[in-house]
Structure 1
Amino acid sequence: MKNTENKLIIKAIKAIDKNGYQNLSLRKLTQSIGLTTGAFYKHFENKTILFQKVTSEISKEFINHAKIDDSLPAQEQILQIADYFVKQIKIHPNIMNFLFFNEEAVSALTKDSASYPFLKKIRTLIEQLNLKSSVSKQDFFIQIWSFIQGYAFLIKNGVTDYDPALVRTTLKQMMKKEK
């Protein structure tokens, strides 16, 4: 049972990477591993549940591949995450779009979910930076995260090229203002 679920999750990630999540066909997904669409529902209640599992898996992969150095201060770790994020948006735009904008990912932003290691890590780091600030945890998270996402999507859409020094300088300025 778990093996089939894992195959479906892996195939879904590959399909999303290639064509985007909006175009994910359950029929094509199940056929790719020799199942019927009806058999899909033996493993997942619906497409939303599949997307929850896929979001969780991509989140785990993201945080594992980002190679964050936990021995560095929170500010430096956030810079490592931002650097990895903006690079990934060019390499895997559909995956990054899914990870941060599918309905399940958006709803995860409103809760503190252990199912999303990437979200948990970035929230923890931002909270560490915000300990002495009068800005709420959520507002500080939104400020930092809005810049990272916005900049990454400008790069993805060809508006600008990636400049690691700009990311570093901007994030450091934002973090200083809040201290």
Structure 2
Amino acid sequence: MTTEEKIINQTIHLIDTNGYQNLSLRKLTKELGLTTGAFYRHFKDKNELFQKAVIQLSKRFIEQIPLNVDYSSKQQLLIIAKYICQSITMHPNQMDFLFYQLSALDLYSNANQYPFLQKVKALITNLNSSTTLSDQDLFIQIWSFIQGYALLIKNKITRYDAQLVEYTLDQLLKGKD
């Protein structure tokens, strides 16, 4: 494992444990036995580290979701929604980092750099046969629902309800599968 990979992995670990808001480069480098100079040989700043950590975490996230290519796009989206809702309670700091902090938001505009979003957008494009909504508009609607619902679960306002998620997805898709 390269030094850069070690830094990224430790960053993800510290974020999971303490939240990205509490990550200090001093603590990170100390735990890895590196100097801050060594850190800056691999990353120009904390933002670059966060962007690379988001990409790595996004890859891990999509690899961990039990998707089967034989499933329809709708079934895969339902599995992703369930996984997000489960993960936000088990790893709230990682999920906040992956979906809500600024470095992640910067990557939203380029799904090619964000493997998880790339997969979600591809599934939504496969489902969108509507002439009234663009793929981007449908993505925004579905993604907003999934993220909002996950936040409600995280904040213990509700529990995951597979039927509600499927019904809402059907409404957003207007019955298309």
User: Which of the five TM-score ranges fits, normalised by the shorter chain?
Assistant: over 0.9
Residue 59 (str. 1) matches residue 54 (str. 2) = no
The offset of 1:148, in angstroms, is 0.3
Separation (CA, whole Å) in 2 of partners of 1:159 and 1:132:
33
C-alpha distance in 1, partners of 2:131/2:47?
37
Match of 1:35, SS state, is coil
> Do the aligned partners of 1:133 and 1:178 also contact (CA within 8 Å) in 2?
no
Determine which of 114, 117, 122 is the counterpart of 2:115. Answer: 117
1:94 corresponds to which letter in structure 2?
Answer: N
Q: Does the CA contact (< 8 Å) of 1:55 and 1:99 recur in 2?
A: yes
* Contact 1:90–1:156 (Cα < 8 Å) also in 2: yes
Residue 28 of structure 1 aligns with an amino acid whose one-letter code is K
What letter matches 2:21 in structure 1? Answer: Q
**Large movers: runs of 4+ above 4 Å:** none
Quick check: 139-148 or 64-73, which moved more? 64-73
Is 1:137 the counterpart of 2:129 in the alignment? no
RMSD: 1.5
Residue identity (%): 50
Paired with 1:72 and 1:133, the residues of 2 have a C-alpha distance of 24
Instruction: Give unpaired runs (5+ residues) of structure 1.
Output: none
Q: Do 2:129 and 2:176's aligned partners in 1 also have CA atoms closer than 8 Å? A: no
Give the C-alpha shift of residue 31 in structure 1.
Answer: 0.5
Answer whether contact 2:19 2:93 (CA < 8 A) is retained: yes
Instruction: Tell me how many residue pairs correspond in the alignment.
Output: 177
Residue matched to 2:32: 33
Distance 2:9 2:138 in 1: 34
Aligned partner letter, 1:50 = L
In structure 2, the gaps of 5 or more residues are none
Q: Which residue number corresponds to residue 127 of structure 1?
A: 125
5 Å-filtered alignment, 1:154-169, equals: 154-169=152-167
Deviations 1:126-163 (Å, cap 9, x if unpaired)? 11111333201111101000000000000000111111
1:151 match? 149
